[in-house]
């Protein structure tokens, strides 16, 4: 379900609560003046109103969960080459047996789950020299944050962190402390502070985050991936592109196979 549909349903639910309460009171009063019925109806109205207010407070708290916070820092100790190649970050030895392309969005919950489940295993394969990884940082969900644009901002900042040799820790931190889809993303100032926390010291990083230096590269990578037939997946009987998507040698990898990584590097 899309964000707009969820918002419309929420507004409908919130708007219907007062009406439902009013109907309950009216029904009780029409029953011949039974005072106990009226009291019960009023209590029902108060319960409904309380539920609505509680839901609004919870939603607002969840939406603003990133406000006035620092992104929790995750440190990755991996002594391997890391370089930016346009809008792609390449991690690992050139002579690795296999190359894995990972297409991801920093707002994508499934990408965060993938990073949590397979990140350490992939790092081990990169460390032993059997795997090289190409990270494609996309803005597929750019309109799913509030305000919009977090997917682009975070991907741009990660590319800049790669320029400074701090990509791996920056990347893991953003997925480990991921904003909720539909909520407020990390601001540019917060992304800059994360950069400082993982060891970025250059003014070029700060300026690049603020100006959106690599925004166009991020959008370009997404459009290329979206148009690549080899990366299409099946979504309820329809073909389309989604994240995370994994590929090697120009072919998508079926990650439902629990042995996909061993087969790739074996």
In this predicted structure, the answer to whether residue 21 has a pLDDT above a threshold of 60 is no
Section 116-128 average pLDDT: 97
Are residue 129 and residue 204 in the same domain, yes or no?
A: yes
pLDDT digits (tens, 9 = 90+) for 66-76: 888 999 999 99
Mean pLDDT of the residues in the chain: 85
Are residue 59 and residue 89 in the same domain, yes or no?
A: no
The pLDDT of residue 11 is 43
Contacts of 63 (CB under 8 A, 6+ apart): 146, 180, 182, 183, 184
Dihedrals φ, ψ of 173, to 5°? -65, -40
Q: How confident is the model at residue 12 (pLDDT cuts 50, 70, 90)?
A: very low
pLDDT digits (tens, 9 = 90+) for 198-254: 999 999 999 999 999 999 999 999 999 999 999 998 888 889 999 999 999 999 999
What is the pairing mode between strands 245-248 and 98-104?
antiparallel
Do 100 and 248 touch, CB atoms closer than 8 A? Answer: yes
pLDDT digits (tens, 9 = 90+) for 74-105: 999 999 999 999 999 999 999 999 999 999 99
In this predicted structure, the answer to whether residue 14 has a pLDDT above a threshold of 50 is no
In this predicted structure, the answer to whether residue 4 has a pLDDT above a threshold of 80 is no
Are residue 126 and residue 165 in the same domain, yes or no?
A: yes
Domain that holds residue 233: 82-265
Residue with tokens 């990660």: 158
Are residue 104 and residue 202 in the same domain, yes or no?
A: yes
Is 68 within a domain?
no
| CA quadruple 133, 119, 166, 111: dihedral, nearest 10 | 90
Is 69 within a domain?
no
Are residue 141 and residue 184 in the same domain, yes or no?
A: yes
The pLDDT of residue 68 is 81
Is 102 within a domain?
yes
């Amino acid at each position: 379900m899309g964000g707009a549909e969820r918002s419309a349903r929420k507004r409908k639910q919130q708007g219907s609560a007062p009406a439902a309460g009013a109907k309950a009171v009216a029904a009780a009063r029409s029953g011949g003046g039974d005072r106990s019925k009226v009291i019960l109806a009023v209590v029902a109205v108060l319960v409904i109103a309380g539920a609505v207010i509680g839901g609004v407070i919870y939603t607002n708290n969840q939406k603003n969960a990133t406000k006035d916070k620092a992104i929790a820092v995750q440190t990755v100790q991996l002594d391997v080459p890391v370089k930016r190649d346009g809008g792609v970050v390449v991690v690992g030895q050139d002579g690795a047996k296999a190359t894995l392309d990972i297409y991801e969005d920093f707002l994508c919950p499934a990408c965060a789950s993938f990073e949590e489940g397979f990140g350490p295993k992939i790092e081990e394969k990169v460390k032993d020299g059997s795997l090289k990884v190409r990270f494609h940082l996309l803005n597929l969900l750019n309109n799913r944050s509030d305000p919009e644009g977090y997917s682009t901002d975070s991907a741009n900042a990660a590319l800049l962190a790669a320029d400074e040799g701090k990509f791996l820790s920056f990347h893991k931190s953003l997925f480990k402390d991921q904003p909720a889809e539909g909520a407020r993303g990390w601001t540019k100032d917060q992304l800059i502070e994360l950069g400082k926390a993982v060891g970025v010291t250059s003014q070029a990083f700060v300026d690049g985050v603020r100006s959106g230096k690599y925004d166009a590269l991020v959008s370009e990578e997404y459009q290329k991936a979206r148009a690549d037939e080899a990366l299409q997946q099946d979504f309820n009987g329809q073909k389309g592109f989604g994240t995370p998507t994994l590929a090697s040698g120009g072919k998508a990898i079926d990650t439902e196979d629990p042995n996909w990584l061993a087969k790739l590097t074996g």
